[in-house]
Amino acid sequence: MRVIGLDTSTATGGVALLEGDRLVGEYTLNLQRTTHAERLMPALERVMLDAGWDPAGGVDGIAVALGPGSFTGLRIGVVTAKALSYAWGVPVAGVPTLEAMAYQAGDAGAVICPAIDARHEHVFCAAYRLEGDNPVPLVGAQLRALQEWLDEVENLATGHERIIFIGDGADVHWETVLQRFGPRAQRPPVGLRTLRSGAVAALGALRLRQGRRDDPASLVPLYLRESEAERKWAAKHRSPS
Amino acid sequence: MGLDLILGIETSCDETAAAVVEGGRRIRSNVIASQMELHQRFGGVVPEIASRRHVELILPVIDQALRQAGVTLADVDAVAVTQGPGLVGSLLVGISAAKALAFARRLPLIGVNHIEGHIYANFLAHPELEPPLVCLTVSGGHTVLFYVPRFGEYEVLGTTRDDAAGEALDKVARILGLGYPGGPAIDRLARGRDPRKVDFPRAMLDEGYEFSFSGLKTAAVQRLERARRQGEDVDVADFAAAFQEAVVDVLVTKALRAARDKGVRRLIISGGVAANSRLRERLLVEGRAAGLEVYWPPLELCTDNAAMIAAAGYFRLQAGERSPLSLNAEPNLRLR
Ligand SMILES: [Zn+2]
């Protein structure tokens, strides 16, 4: 089974080609200089060409990181996945970004805490334990103030259990995390701290094998946050209770 | 080898649209999903909400356009998509879909200027229409006067220095309590009223082809506030009629001047405000008196749609133009 993995959740993003259990190709850029709109499709074309995958031949499935992350970035990835799925007539699987990060962290004996920087001392975060390779959520994806989140992690990780942090949300606040947890807090080595699209492809392929395909028409990003206009409107029209 | 059947995609503002056009002139399908109701409670288009809705609508709308045309992607020869101007988040939804479809089906891709698309709405509606002509494009987002010497060539004669004409109409409708979008409401209310009951300024009426509507808008807001402060009764219909007349006066004067200066015999109007009945009426009467044929598109081609994008794309593709897979949204794209 040939599966394409797409990730445009954060400044890091790219595409991966997975054939069965073999990662055939991956193209990742971590840049602020260009946008996903400019680089996603050229990257897909490049990596397919290099791998000898003929675009006219299609693939067997599409996996896409659903978020959370940058709203605009997520839309580019999700819409691209929808349209590829439609044009090739193949299934699509949306993969929660934080779950893919936990999968990539790959540490079975720890609590895994992926986090994406949401600015203003907030993070998009979740917590998982692995069963086999599979991330099982302890806390689902949410948007939290950093300190609240660290409190929650402290409650989750009982005793002397190690806590694996992954993602730019942990990197940005690493000093704070270390102060709180000391040597129990660990993170993957440089080069594995931000999401690789290979992990998205692998989790997506797993979902597709389990028959957990998404409807490409109704698939939407995992925003985890209303638009500012909706927040303001809700605040103004809140019923007194 | 032909580039006959074009799939057009348009998501520059708050309509998700897809269409199939044959030979640049014949509409095979034209699907428009409006988000108007979604934005009504905010009194205007909210970019983030519009972008989110586009994501939900884009595939069903494209699918419906192909079905209504009785074709599949396998029959399509190329994909045309609005590149700008517009809301960047909205534009990116259409562009991402168009690029993925073009890549997966190995089809030529062309990014189209939205305002150029509006010109083509008239070529779709009137098969006999040919350049040279002058085009007045007026909507909530743009006010532009073009000279079109031949297909695919444009000269921008003038644009607005501040607000678009439709934007001014919407704003005044809002302060009059007429809801959103307000242009059509003003048009309805003003019918049969005497527009001379309230006096409004006409900005830069004597100068060239440039427009300015913010001064007029401010005058309307101040006048209404003063009347309310002093407890005067404001006849909303008379007020609307007078304001609309001030906008239409400027548009008509400059459009006719452009047609005369360029020596063309055809004048076309396009964009959402081209649906305004007072603008049509005056252009028709005064245009005829000046020896001009005046054209406008039917309502479904006045508002933002993808058929006009497919048509404009067709002529660019015929000229050998192609867009790369790195095509990006250009929120302030200018005509070239
Ligand atoms: Zn428009």
Verify that B143 and B13 share a domain, yes or no.
no
The phi-psi region of residue B256 (left if phi > 0; otherwise alpha if psi is between -120 and 50; otherwise beta) is alpha
In a domain, B328, yes or no: no
Contact B219, B200 (CB under 8 A): yes
Tens-place pLDDT, residues A32-48: 888 999 999 999 999 99
Q: Which residue in B59, B99, B329 is closest to A82 by CB distance?
A: B59
On average, the pLDDT of chain A sits at 94
CA distances from B42 to A230, B46, B91 (A): 9, 7, 21
CATH number of the domain that residue B49 is part of: 3.30.420.40
Verify that A43 and A120 share a domain, yes or no.
no
Q: Could you tell me the distance, in angstroms and rounded to a whole number, from the CA of residue A96 to the centre of ligand 1? A: 36
**What length is written for chain B?**
336
DSSP 8-class letter at B170: H
Nearest-angstrom CA–CA distance, A216 and B97: 12
Counting Cβ atoms within 10 Å, is residue B186 exposed (0-12), middle (13-18) or buried (19+)?
buried
B73 touches chain A (CB under 8 A): yes
DSSP 8-class letter at B64: H
Q: CB count, 10 Å around CB of A160?
A: 7
B104 touches chain A (CB under 8 A): yes
Q: Which residue in A71, A75, A87 is closest to B101 by CB distance?
A: A87
| Nearest-by-CA chain B residue for A39 | B326
In a domain, A63, yes or no: yes
Sheet containing B133-138: which strands, arranged edge to edge?
B155-159, B143-148, B133-138, B266-270, B293-295
Verify that A112 and A93 share a domain, yes or no.
no
pLDDT surpassing 80 at residue A145: yes
pLDDT surpassing 90 at residue A2: yes
> Which one of A33, A75, A215 would you mutate to disrupt binding with B, by most B Cβ within 10 Å of its Cβ?
A75
A55 touches chain B (CB under 8 A): yes
Q: How many CA atoms lie within 13 A of B287 on its CB side?
A: 27
Counting Cβ atoms within 10 Å, is residue B116 exposed (0-12), middle (13-18) or buried (19+)?
buried
Q: Which of residues 163-222 of A touch B (CB under 8 A)?
A: 216-218, 220-221
Q: Could you tell me the distance, in angstroms and rounded to a whole number, from the CA of residue B205 to the centre of ligand 1? A: 24
Do the bridges between strand B5-10 and strand B15-22 make them parallel or antiparallel, or are there none, so unpaired?
antiparallel
Nearest-angstrom CA–CA distance, B156 and B334: 10
Counting Cβ atoms within 10 Å, is residue A86 exposed (0-12), middle (13-18) or buried (19+)?
buried
Interface contact B100-A84, CB threshold 8 A = yes
Verify that A157 and A139 share a domain, yes or no.
yes
The predicted structure's pLDDT at residue A33:
80
Nearest-angstrom CA–CA distance, B20 and B65: 6
Which tokens hold the place of A55?
A: 């675009």
Residues of B with Cβ-Cβ distance to A71 under 8 angstroms:
48, 51, 89
Contact A148, A162 (CB under 8 A): no
Verify that B188 and B236 share a domain, yes or no.
yes
Tens-place pLDDT, residues B121-142: 999 999 899 999 999 999 988 8
Residues of B with Cβ-Cβ distance to A39 under 8 angstroms:
326
Residues of A with Cβ-Cβ distance to B11 under 8 angstroms:
none
Provide φ and ψ at B273, rounded to 5°: -75, -15
The predicted structure's pLDDT at residue B300:
86
Which tokens hold the place of A61?
A: 């499935």
Verify that B193 and B231 share a domain, yes or no.
yes
Contact B137, B148 (CB under 8 A): no
Verify that A11 and A76 share a domain, yes or no.
yes
Which tokens hold the place of A201?
A: 């492809």
Question: The domain containing residue A153 runs over which residues?
Answer: 107-192
DSSP 8-class letter at B265: S
Interface contact A83-B59, CB threshold 8 A = yes
Q: Name the minimum distance, in Å, from the CA of A110 to any CA of chain B.
A: 36
Question: The domain containing residue B159 runs over which residues?
Answer: 131-297
In a domain, B330, yes or no: no
**Residue whose tokens read 């909507």:** B139
Return the closest-CA partner of residue B217 out of B200, B233, B204, B231.
B200
Write the CB contacts of A153 (distance below 8 Å, at least 6 apart in sequence): A111, A113, A127, A163, A181
The predicted structure's pLDDT at residue B232:
86
The predicted structure's pLDDT at residue A241:
46
Q: Could you tell me the distance, in angstroms and rounded to a whole number, from the CA of residue B298 to the centre of ligand 1? A: 14
Higher pLDDT, B197 or A142: A142
B28 touches chain A (CB under 8 A): no
Write the CB contacts of A71 (distance below 8 Å, at least 6 apart in sequence): A221, A223, B48, B51, B89
Verify that A143 and A176 share a domain, yes or no.
yes
Q: Name the minimum distance, in Å, from the CA of A123 to any CA of chain B.
A: 20
pTM, full prediction: 0.92
> Which one of A33, A66, A86 would you mutate to disrupt binding with B, by most B Cβ within 10 Å of its Cβ?
A86
What sections of chain B are H helices per DSSP?
36-40, 47-69, 88-105, 114-125, 165-175, 183-190, 214-229, 236-262, 277-289, 299-302, 307-318
The predicted structure's pLDDT at residue A13:
92
DSSP 8-class letter at B276: -
Contact B136, B247 (CB under 8 A): no
Mean pLDDT of A59-82: 97
Verify that B96 and B220 share a domain, yes or no.
no
CATH number of the domain that residue A125 is part of: 3.30.420.40
Question: How many inter-chain contacts (A to B, CB under 8 Å) are there?
Answer: 107
B75 touches chain A (CB under 8 A): no
A101 touches chain B (CB under 8 A): no
Nearest-angstrom CA–CA distance, B261 and A232: 50
Residues of A with Cβ-Cβ distance to B324 under 8 angstroms:
42
Q: Which residue in A35, A80, A228 is closest to B100 by CB distance?
A: A80
Return the closest-CA partner of residue A195 out of A108, A51, A79, A69.
A69
Share of chain A above pLDDT 90, in %: 85
A146 touches chain B (CB under 8 A): no
Contact A64, A74 (CB under 8 A): no
Verify that B37 and B163 share a domain, yes or no.
no
> Which one of B48, B51, B180, B328 would you mutate to disrupt binding with A, by most A Cβ within 10 Å of its Cβ?
B48
The predicted structure's pLDDT at residue B1:
44
Q: What domain count does chain B have? A: 2
In a domain, B333, yes or no: no
Residues of A with Cβ-Cβ distance to B59 under 8 angstroms:
82-83, 86, 216-217
In a domain, A133, yes or no: yes
**Number of helices and strands in chain A (H, E):** 8, 10
A49 touches chain B (CB under 8 A): no
Of A192, A218, A235, the one marking the end of a domain is A192
Mean pLDDT of A8-28: 96
Which tokens hold the place of B224?
A: 């209404």
Return the closest-CA partner of residue B146 out of B300, B13, B271, B245.
B271
Nearest-angstrom CA–CA distance, B279 and B256: 12
Tens-place pLDDT, residues A206-237: 999 999 999 999 999 999 988 888 888 888 88
In a domain, A233, yes or no: no
Contact B170, B148 (CB under 8 A): no
Sheet containing B15-22: which strands, arranged edge to edge?
B26-34, B15-22, B5-10, B78-84, B109-113
Tens-place pLDDT, residues A168-187: 999 999 999 999 999 999 99
DSSP 8-class letter at A55: G
Alpha carbon A31 to chain centroid, angstroms = 17
Q: CB count, 10 Å around CB of A210?
A: 9
Regions of chain B short of the pLDDT cut 70? 1, 336
Verify that B43 and B74 share a domain, yes or no.
yes
Q: Which helix (H) or strand (E) holds A73?
A: helix A71-88
Verify that A211 and A171 share a domain, yes or no.
no
Verify that A117 and A151 share a domain, yes or no.
yes
Nearest-angstrom CA–CA distance, B224 and B221: 5
Nearest-angstrom CA–CA distance, A229 and A224: 15
Helix, strand, coil percent values for chain B (each to nearest 5): 45, 20, 35
Q: Which of residues 59-88 of A touch B (CB under 8 A)?
A: 71-72, 75-76, 78-84, 86-88
Contact A197, A180 (CB under 8 A): no
Q: Which of residues 11-40 of A touch B (CB under 8 A)?
A: 35, 37-40
Nearest-angstrom CA–CA distance, A37 and B328: 6
Q: What domain count does chain A have? A: 2
In a domain, A210, yes or no: yes
Tens-place pLDDT, residues B161-207: 999 999 999 989 988 888 877 889 999 999 989 898 888 888 777 77
**Residue type (1 letter), B246:** A
Reduced to 3 states, what is the DSSP secondary structure of residue A67?
strand
Exposure class string for A218-232: b at 16+ Cβ within 10 A, else e: ebbbbbbbebebbee
In a domain, B125, yes or no: no
Which tokens hold the place of B54?
A: 């586009």
Mean pLDDT of A114-122: 96
